[in-house]
């Protein structure tokens, strides 16, 4: 009776799975096998492929464009993931203390992630035009640098004076007390306007044209073009990641914080001794998600198109596409497949490392 | 405790510190919300402008000024009896005035005005425009009036007498043989020497040309919406398929919609069946399938796209929406459905099983109807993912222009209009039009989407 049930289940099980398995086998399993096979051939989408061994991989290693793509992909993934994880964590901790605003916060912060990468990239392309708004903002900051500096100097002076006076009464007024800071900012702004009107400090009238995108300049391991893309990526993903951290924060039992407080921990100490360790699983997930997502960055590169030189924007994902459909050349499926497998392997290594470390953390 | 030396009031101090922390939290939140929403708000405002790349960037411009809306509506009513979308139609007669000023003593010249034969833009529209307001417009000077005013120099404070002269024009529609057609816009230019400045005009000038000698208007009969949403109307009307005349934006939206709906349907079939099998049925190989599902979620699409491209090509489905629908791998959704079914109480199914129903009947009549919340969440995710998907449509559908999906269509918009000197208002307008469907969905299902994202966490 029981055995019959199992047999029955087996048949039904495979029948239920059949539609999904057909799709998975054709468009995933077979696709991977074919890519692996193509990477060992000289296939060009039209003629019958000939087996050429590991030659594609050897050519890949000596191809400057591939090395650039690899370097770009890895620096982009590392830099963006690092920045967005830290930012998302800090924001989540901050927002978590604003209990009342949470619903609104979620809506506002979720908003960028509903945009398509195409629409988002177009908006950023407009912002980063040579004579665009970003240039105009940077130009204004540069031209008004002395006024801006004087503003900050005034704010600092007024704040220090206020805090010093207040400390005569209450010993523990923070240097960054927000209520004093509002007043300091007001005085600073008024002072800066006063200085500007009287012309006490120089104001420059230089016209700026900044090539944010169409440039080959490299800044801190990464082309400036990709830094602009990184900014956009961070802008769109930080809010989503922040929501993940927020969920993690809300699952930390408050008794842990109470215990830390009893032991006399300051809020910064309890952040490092309670919050961070409890968030380790979420952090690993966020880092992994971030690395996988950024390693596969393709859309923005394709949409940038002719707006930036190829070597300043190319990533591994785009290199694969570029070799499959090279503009005006014959497809080089062998090298495209080899590069795609490299990208796949990189991703798998990251997932593997996460599993290893993630499990270790949970045990320890 | 060493509190005797200073007159501390501990409760006040504590309260103040709490408030200080709270204030900082709200500062940061408001700052961030400003950055996030502000970017979109500014980009949206710029999409309304005639030239989003204008330098310096104006935060107040005709398209968002209510008094100009009213003027634009008046002019639209005069031009084509349409206060909303304006235009220039038989029977149209507009009154348009220009005021030039110069220091007293300088000769004030009557400007040379005309309705130029101008195409609306540089792109595809240039090829399809066949009617021009200049063929029908008759411009007459109906009167002038003078007034003097005192102008104080900004630097020296010296006061000089200036003369301002207002020129009133009547622009009327002259149809030959009663065969006039409605023209969408009525451009206008006025040429005057640089010794006199254009002080004001019925409608704010679009731009100054030829070193400030020519004041140029794109449309002096815009109507209120024709003024505000000019770039949106243009991007819809001017990106057309040259062979069929179809409006590409609507075609692209239609394609994306088909792709999204197709993927949602396919996803529901695949993932509910597979999810149920993985959650409920114990049979050999179930673990292997599960590992495969996880594995397929981590492999980048670039690894599979060459083979998938070939499959689609061999089936003769390149450039069709079917190709984009069928290459979807539903693993994420299978996993989510599996999780949902696992939390579903077994007893109901077992009762039905005793009653003699088979697995498929149970699934169809008992399990699926109860899985509605999970199906809705998955459908929303799949719809949004398909609507925003760029890679597959980019690879599989490349021509004709009317076959593209929305995100790839946006790329083609950028290629035609988004150069250094390009028509960026059209590009931005296209981008904002493309997010309307997901925006509507976001508003409708906000609670579903936002809460799900948080509770589901990482797949």
pLDDT exceeds cutoff 70 at B326: yes
Confidence at A317, pLDDT banded by 50, 70, 90: very high
Q: Which residue of A20, A177, A344 is in closest CB contact with B270?
A: A20
Q: What is the pLDDT of residues B22-73, one digit of tens each?
A: 888 888 888 888 888 899 999 999 999 998 988 888 889 999 999 999 999 9
Question: Which has the higher per-residue pLDDT, B151 or B228?
Answer: B228
Q: Which residue of B36, B52, B283 is in closest CB contact with A10?
A: B283
Contacts of A13 in chain B (CB under 8 A): 277, 281, 283, 286
Q: What is the pLDDT of residues B409-437, one digit of tens each?
A: 999 999 888 776 678 999 999 999 999 99
**Annotated domain spans of chain A:** 58-129+218-363, 145-198
Q: What is the pLDDT of residues A69-85, one digit of tens each?
A: 999 999 999 999 999 99
Least confident of A26-35, A354-363, B85-94, B124-133: A354-363
Q: What is the ipTM of this complex?
A: 0.89
Q: What is the pLDDT of residues B145-189, one digit of tens each?
A: 999 988 887 777 788 889 999 999 999 998 776 667 888 889 999
Least confident of A164-173, A277-286, B132-141: A164-173
Confidence at A112, pLDDT banded by 50, 70, 90: confident
Among A66-70, A274-278, B133-137, the range with the most confident prediction by mean pLDDT is A66-70
The whole-angstrom distance between A188's CA and the closest CA on chain B is: 18
Q: How far apart are CA B260 and CA B383, in angstroms?
A: 5
Q: Which residue of B25, B308, B394 is in closest CB contact with A27?
A: B308
**pLDDT for position A364:** 30
Q: Which residue of A10, A27, A125 is in closest CB contact with B284?
A: A10
Count of CB pairs separated by less than 8 Å, A with B: 302
Q: Does A235 touch chain B (CB under 8 A)?
A: yes
Task: State chain A's mean pLDDT as an integer.
Answer: 88
CATH, domain range A58-129+218-363: 1.10.3720.10
User: What's the rounded mean pLDDT across residues B372-394?
Assistant: 93
pLDDT exceeds cutoff 50 at B1: no
Handedness of CA A222, A226, A231, A236 (dihedral sign): negative
Q: What is the pLDDT of residues B217-227, one digit of tens each?
A: 999 999 999 99
Contacts of A343 in chain B (CB under 8 A): 300, 302-303
Contact A117 B434 (CB under 8 A): no
Contact B43 A344 (CB under 8 A): no
**pLDDT for position A2:** 43
**pLDDT for position A184:** 95
Task: State chain B's mean pLDDT as an integer.
Answer: 87
Q: How far apart are CA A319 and CA A66, in angstroms?
A: 7
Q: Does A86 touch chain B (CB under 8 A)?
A: no
Q: What is the pLDDT of residues B284-297, one digit of tens each?
A: 788 899 999 989 98
CATH, domain range B248-456: 1.10.3720.10
pLDDT exceeds cutoff 80 at B9: no
């Amino acid at each position: 009776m029981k055995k019959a049930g199992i047999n029955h289940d087996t048949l039904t099980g495979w029948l239920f799975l059949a539609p999904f398995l057909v799709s998975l086998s054709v468009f995933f399993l077979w696709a991977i096998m074919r890519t692996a096979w193509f990477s060992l051939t000289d296939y060009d989408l039209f003629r019958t492929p000939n087996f050429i061994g590991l030659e594609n991989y050897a050519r890949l290693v000596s191809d400057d464009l591939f090395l650039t793509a690899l370097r770009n992909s890895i620096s982009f993934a590392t830099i963006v993931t690092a920045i967005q994880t830290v930012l998302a964590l800090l924001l989540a901790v901050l927002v978590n203390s604003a209990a009342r605003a949470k619903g609104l916060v979620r809506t506002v912060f979720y908003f960028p992630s509903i945009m398509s990468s195409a629409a988002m990239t177009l908006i950023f392309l407009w912002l980063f035009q040579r004579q665009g708004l970003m240039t105009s903002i940077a130009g204004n900051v540069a031209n008004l640098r002395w006024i801006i500096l004087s503003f900050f100097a005034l704010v600092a002076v007024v704040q220090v004076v206020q805090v010093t006076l207040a400390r005569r009464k209450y010993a523990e007024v923070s240097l960054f007390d927000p209520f004093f800071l509002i007043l300091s900012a007001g005085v600073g702004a008024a002072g800066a306007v006063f200085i500007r009107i009287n012309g006490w400090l120089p104001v420059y009238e230089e016209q700026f044209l900044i090539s944010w995108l169409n440039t080959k300049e490299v800044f801190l391991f990464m082309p400036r073009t990709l830094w602009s893309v990184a900014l956009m990526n961070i802008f769109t993903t930080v809010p989503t990641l922040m929501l993940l951290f927020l969920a993690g924060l809300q699952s930390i039992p408050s008794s842990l914080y109470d215990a830390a407080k009893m032991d006399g921990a300051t809020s910064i100490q309890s952040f490092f001794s309670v919050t961070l360790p409890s968030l380790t699983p979420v952090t690993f997930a966020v880092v992994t998600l971030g690395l996988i997502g950024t390693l596969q960055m393709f859309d923005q590169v394709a949409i940038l198109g002719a707006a930036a030189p190829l070597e300043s924007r190319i990533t591994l994902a785009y290199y694969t596409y570029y070799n499959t459909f090279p503009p005006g050349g014959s497809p080089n499926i062998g090298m495209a497949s080899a590069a795609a497998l490299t990208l796949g392997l990189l991703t798998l290594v990251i997932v593997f490392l996460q599993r290893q470390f993630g499990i270790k953390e949970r045990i320890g | 405790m060493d509190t005797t030396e200073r007159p501390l009031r501990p409760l006040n101090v504590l309260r103040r510190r709490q408030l200080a922390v709270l204030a900082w939290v709200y500062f940061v939140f408001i700052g961030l919300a400003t950055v996030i929403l502000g970017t979109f708000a500014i980009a949206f405002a710029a999409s309304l402008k005639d030239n989003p790349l204008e330098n310096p960037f104006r935060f107040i411009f005709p398209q968002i000024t209510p008094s100009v809306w009213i003027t634009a509506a008046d002019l639209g009513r005069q031009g084509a009896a349409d206060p909303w979308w304006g235009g220039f139609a038989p029977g149209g007669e507009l009154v348009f005035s220009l005021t030039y000023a110069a220091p007293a003593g300088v000769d004030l010249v009557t400007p040379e005005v005309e309705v130029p034969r101008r195409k609306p833009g540089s792109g595809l529209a240039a090829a399809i425009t066949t009617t021009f307001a200049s063929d029908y417009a008759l411009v007459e000077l109906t009167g002038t009036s003078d007034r003097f005013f005192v102008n104080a120099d900004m630097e020296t404070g010296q006061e000089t007498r200036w003369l301002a002269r207002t020129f009133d024009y009547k622009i009327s529609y002259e149809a030959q043989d009663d065969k006039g057609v409605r023209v969408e816009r009525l451009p206008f230019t006025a040429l005057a020497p640089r010794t006199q400045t254009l002080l004001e005009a019925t409608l704010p000038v679009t731009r100054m040309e030829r070193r400030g000698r020519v004041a140029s208007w794109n449309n002096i009969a815009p109507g209120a919406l024709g003024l505000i949403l000019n770039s949106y109307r243009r991007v819809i009307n001017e990106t057309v398929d040259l062979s069929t005349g179809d409006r590409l934006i609507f075609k692209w939206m239609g394609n994306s919609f088909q792709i999204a709906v197709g993927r949602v349907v396919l996803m529901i079939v695949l993932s509910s069946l597979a999810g149920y099998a993985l959650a409920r049925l114990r049979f050999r190989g179930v673990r292997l399938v599960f590992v495969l599902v996880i594995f397929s979620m981590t492999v980048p699409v670039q690894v599979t796209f060459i083979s998938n491209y070939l499959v689609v090509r061999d089936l003769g489905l390149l450039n069709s929406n079917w190709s984009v629908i069928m290459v979807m791998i539903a693993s994420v959704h299978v996993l989510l459905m599996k999780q949902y079914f696992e939390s579903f109480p077994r007893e109901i199914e077992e009762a039905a099983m005793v009653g003699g129903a088979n697995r498929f009947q149970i699934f169809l009549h008992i399990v699926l109807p109860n899985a509605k919340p999970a199906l809705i969440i998955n459908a929303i995710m799949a719809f949004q993912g398909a609507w925003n998907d760029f890679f597959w449509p980019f690879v599989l559908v490349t021509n004709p222009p009317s076959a593209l999906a929305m995100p790839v269509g946006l790329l083609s918009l950028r290629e035609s209009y988004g150069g250094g000197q390009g028509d960026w208002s059209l590009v931005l307008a296209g981008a904002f039009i493309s997010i309307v469907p997901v925006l509507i969905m976001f508003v409708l299902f906000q609670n579903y989407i936002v809460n799900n994202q948080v509770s589901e966490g990482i797949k």
